[in-house]
Amino acid sequence: MPVILLQSFLVWQLILSVLILGRKYRANQIFGCLLVTAGVILAVASGANSGPFLSDVKLFWPAVLMASSACHAGASIIKEFVFIDGAKRLKGKRPDIFVVNSFGSGFQALFVFLLLPFLSNLKGIPLAELPAYINRGAACFLNIGGNLKDCHGAPLLPLLFIAMNMAFNISVLNLVKMSTALVASLTATLAVPLSIYVLSLPLPYIPGGTNLSTSFLVGAAILVLGLLLYNLPKKLAGRMKTD
């Protein structure tokens, strides 16, 4: 369910890029974004029968989640603005990805640290027990010590996740630098059905595989169609509109 609701991220990006960057989008681009959103929702919802759906949740919290995605969307648009503004100030040379990402990651780490007492209380962990909780987490991460549960594959799997996550984020940010934040998000959205497909395979540490439903395949096809429609050349889009 959270994955479905977070697809409002693309809508926020469309709105904020118009307001902040003054961009104008063609009809095929807007429709392409909507198709991508619909495709992801259909693909993800195909496996949501066993979990709680909107009928079991009060409207307030889904609304909060959708509203909070505006912050993430705004951050991506601001990064795009930094690249554009930096190119003007640096006479055509765009700021280095490392510099932009370092500022974003630094402030993210700062606010996580400042909100740590509040977040720990939300998880039911008293502040006095937080150091011991962090120590247990570090022991599980490094797979050091006895009586460890649910730490299979550590530290290889956590390190592999960190490496893949860093590579993914750097690739997305580089795409923002070369194109736009919206294009980067549309491309990254393709990772959702791809991840579901990969996780459906019988892989190590994942017991057995699963069969993908027809709605998942249809959703993935709609998503790809939306990406193609968004990236339709301007001349071809104008010709189709004229016809």
User: Exposed, middle or buried, 148 (CB in 10 Å: 0-12/13-18/19+)?
Assistant: middle
Residue 151 in tokens: 């730490």
Question: Residues 42-71: pLDDT tens digits?
Answer: 877 765 544 444 445 567 777 888 889 999
pLDDT of residue 62: 77
Residue with the larger pLDDT of the pair 6 and 116: 116
Query: Above pLDDT 90, what percent of the chain?
Result: 24
Please state, in angstroms and rounded to a whole number, the distance separating the CA atoms of residues 209 and 202: 4
Query: Above pLDDT 70, what percent of the chain?
Result: 86
Question: Residues 184-232: pLDDT tens digits?
Answer: 998 888 888 888 788 888 877 776 667 778 888 888 889 889 888 888 7
With a cut of 70, say whether residue 237 has pLDDT above it: no
| Residue 116: domain span | 2-242
pLDDT of residue 66: 85
113-117 long-range Cβ contacts below 8 angstroms, 24+ apart: none
pLDDT of residue 223: 87
Helices (H), 46-204: 60-89, 97-114, 116-122, 130-142, 156-178, 181-189, 191-199
Report, as an integer, the average pLDDT of 92-111: 89
pLDDT of residue 16: 94
Please state, in angstroms and rounded to a whole number, the distance separating the CA atoms of residues 199 and 164: 15
Q: Decide if 44 contacts 212 (C-beta within 8 A).
A: no
Q: Is 153 left (phi over 0), alpha (psi -120 to 50) or beta?
A: left
Report, as an integer, the average pLDDT of 36-40: 86
pLDDT of residue 74: 92
With a cut of 80, say whether residue 242 has pLDDT above it: no
Counting the structural domains of the chain, the total is 1
Please state, in angstroms and rounded to a whole number, the distance separating the CA atoms of residues 14 and 11: 5
Q: Decide if 188 contacts 9 (C-beta within 8 A).
A: no
Instruction: Identify the three-state secondary structure at position 131.
Output: helix
User: Exposed, middle or buried, 200 (CB in 10 Å: 0-12/13-18/19+)?
Assistant: middle
With a cut of 70, say whether residue 147 has pLDDT above it: no
Report, as an integer, the average pLDDT of 14-31: 92
Question: In this structure, what DSSP letter does residue 127 have?
Answer: G
Could you tell me the pLDDT band of residue 21, with boundaries at 50, 70 and 90? very high
List all residues 6 or more positions away from 28 whose beta carbon is below 8 Å from its beta carbon.
Answer: 229, 230, 232, 237, 240, 241
pLDDT of residue 162: 92
Report, as an integer, the average pLDDT of 134-145: 86
Please state, in angstroms and rounded to a whole number, the distance separating the CA atoms of residues 204 and 153: 10
Report, as an integer, the average pLDDT of 16-26: 92
| Element at 9 (helix H, strand E) | helix 8-21
CA-wise closest residue to 12 among 51, 58, 65 = 65
